[in-house]
Structure 1
Amino acid sequence: MKEEDLRIGCFKFSKPLPETDASYAFATLWPWIDVNSVGTLVLKELRDRFNAMEIARLSRPGTFFDFTRYRPTIHIQEDGIKEMIIPNTTIYYAKRHGDKDLVLIRMLEPHMNAELYIDSVLKVFKALNVKTYTLLGSMYDAVPHTRPLLVSGYNMGENIKDTLLKNLGILPIIYRGNSSIVNMVTKNAAESNIRVNVFIVSIPQYVILDEDYIGKMRLMEILNILYNIPVDKQDFEKALEQKNIIDERLEKAQEFKMLLPQLESAYDMRIRSIIREDENVIDTEMDEILWKSIDKDIGKA
């Protein structure tokens, strides 16, 4: 491959461009929808499980990122600087025999030149024949840790079956307000005949963890159903251990004991609204419970 062929958009490829008829792309967006590093954990799982290799990264990340906000990481020893890691958006690729190849991208939200960033990601998708793009993430929500984690989402593209999300137990996202410009990747991908899935797991607003295996497990369950990707049994054990720790810590919080029934009631109402196929309507009682829950400062687990 010629040197000039090693750049697509603003991405520089360190490996020859893989030859593929079709691939699935999985992405997360940090920090906008990566609460407790859930999306990052899922992508790492996919990288490790399928031996994905890094094939590209932005050639000049400073074109897009403010390094006073995304700080570089430095390694200093007695004889000086040994290593300096610059924040970047990297792309990994996994070749799978008998199934679609995987494109994995952990996107950092750009502070500038966002249109150029978005165009570059979409050019890579086109070059790698991406047919399905799945955005994975997590956000805080007024939900209890004592119930199965809710996942909200939507899909876009031609020939999309409306029953898919319902069959997976996915709540619809009904929202109007501030967002990330990187959502244009999702919108433009769908307009380019790429099937789009978005799955966001709701994390209890009082659970603050460096690595949330309960949230990871919830997203991996969906990927297992859709793409037959195995779930690591060790993650079950880590998720159970985390839940036990959360239970133990919150057992001592009296204010939380008073709030928990309200969170559980609001959760149960949301589930009933799905069963009634009335997802767009939140009754007055549920709305009141949700706002009371969100307004309370209940600390963290």
Structure 2
Amino acid sequence: MREEARQHRIMVAAFEGWNDACSASTNVIRHLLDAYDSKDVGSIQGDGFYDYQMSRPMLCHVQGRRRIIWPEAKFYEVSVGEGATLLLEMGPEPNYRWSEFCRQSIHMAEDYEMDTIITLGSMFADCPHTRPLPIDDLEGDQDLSDTDGHSGPIGIPTVLDALASQDGYRTDSVWVSIPQYLGNDECAQGTLQLLRRLSAALGVDLAEGDLPRKAEEWKSQASVLLHCNDDLANYVHRLELDADAKAMGADGPAGDTPTGLELVKEAEEFLRSMGGDQDRADQ
């Protein structure tokens, strides 16, 4: 990320769903809201943007009264230090009218005089939990004709980056890769690495709270699977060799190993069996 963004007012956006493997990116927003005083400053209402069969409204009880919570994107203003004011956006990825949704997001950035927009995302990938998780830092205002970048399906962060860049904003998109063999449990390590990258962009030491401890617990739990599943251990060892080779600028080794998707099911079955054994032990 660029040095000049450090002293500016920055909007940070993360969206639940396809762009949010293991909730790693939206948990950055939740962490900041827990760590700092914040002010709820607005929302993008769900009507017209969400398929309520995909993002269902929630029923809750407040002081004995029933209340329906509709899907929406919410905005919060947070001061994290001198010269560093954030406008945080979080909500489910919309199902419809992405351009209009992003225009409303950009209007919020205009209203609160933001000059940089950073989107956060997380994706499943073939990477080992025993190494730092891969981080992709993509400047949204780069030449879109660059064929060395990503090609394929995109999510709402990419659209928001593109439209904001067209409107003259500095934009960055930061993504962390999550080991796909670990399933859908929250990944504190991914959240911690995104938070640290955001901290570097702001030039502010953001409070990490208990994220480092949770990240170590996540690694320890992942390592338990390797001790109980030889195929998974061999697969992760292969990923380690690939990661180390790439870190040294060499091509990783090739060979036939079980795929991450195949091993996800094995890992989930093992965790279920562990839960069943614990239930029987408690009886």
Matched, 1:212 2:187: yes
Counterpart pick for 1:264 among 234, 240, 249: 240
Counterpart pick for 2:109 among 118, 125, 136: 125
Residue ranges of structure 1 left out of the alignment (5+ in a row):
1-20, 159-172, 277-282
Q: How does 1:1-301 map to 2 (within 5 A)?
A: 23-59=9-45, 61-75=46-60, 82-95=66-79, 98-157=82-141, 174-227=149-202, 228-273=204-249, 283=251, 288=254, 294=259, 297-299=262-264, 300=267
3-state SS in 1 of match to 2:263: coil
Looking at structure 1, the residues matched to 131 and 79 of structure 2 have their Cα atoms a distance apart, in angstroms, of 37
**Cα offsets for 1:227-268 (capped at 9, x unmatched):** 213242421111111211111133101211221221112212
Residue 225 (structure 1) shift: 2.0
3-state SS in 1 of match to 2:182: coil
For the 8 Å contact 1:134–1:197, the answer to whether it is kept is: yes
Structure 1, 99-108 or 137-146: larger mean CA deviation: 99-108
Residue 180 (structure 1) shift: 2.3
2:24 corresponds to which letter in structure 1? V
Looking at structure 2, the residues matched to 192 and 47 of structure 1 have their Cα atoms a distance apart, in angstroms, of 28
Structure 1, 23-32 or 208-217: larger mean CA deviation: 208-217
Distance 1:157 1:264, change over 3 A: same
Q: TM-score, normalised by structure 2?
A: 0.80
Looking at structure 2, the residues matched to 147 and 95 of structure 1 have their Cα atoms a distance apart, in angstroms, of 32
Looking at structure 2, the residues matched to 220 and 22 of structure 1 have their Cα atoms a distance apart, in angstroms, of 17
Distance 1:241 1:70, change over 3 A: same
Q: TM-score, normalised by structure 1?
A: 0.76
1:298 corresponds to which letter in structure 2? L
**Cα offsets for 1:27-50 (capped at 9, x unmatched):** 112212111111111101222222
3-state SS in 2 of match to 1:62: coil
Partner of 1:165: none
3-state SS in 2 of match to 1:63: coil
For the 8 Å contact 2:127–2:178, the answer to whether it is kept is: yes
Looking at structure 1, the residues matched to 69 and 59 of structure 2 have their Cα atoms a distance apart, in angstroms, of 6
**Cα offsets for 1:96-119 (capped at 9, x unmatched):** 563132100014222222222121
Looking at structure 2, the residues matched to 260 and 211 of structure 1 have their Cα atoms a distance apart, in angstroms, of 19
Residue ranges of structure 2 left out of the alignment (5+ in a row):
1-6, 143-147, 269-283
2:262 corresponds to which letter in structure 1? D
Percent identical pairs in the alignment equals 21
1:25 corresponds to which letter in structure 2? M
Looking at structure 1, the residues matched to 156 and 198 of structure 2 have their Cα atoms a distance apart, in angstroms, of 25
1:29 corresponds to which letter in structure 2? F
Query: How many correspondences in the alignment?
Result: 254
For the 8 Å contact 1:27–1:105, the answer to whether it is kept is: yes
Distance 1:68 1:222, change over 3 A: same
> Aligned-pair RMSD on alpha carbons?
2.7
2:49 corresponds to which letter in structure 1? F
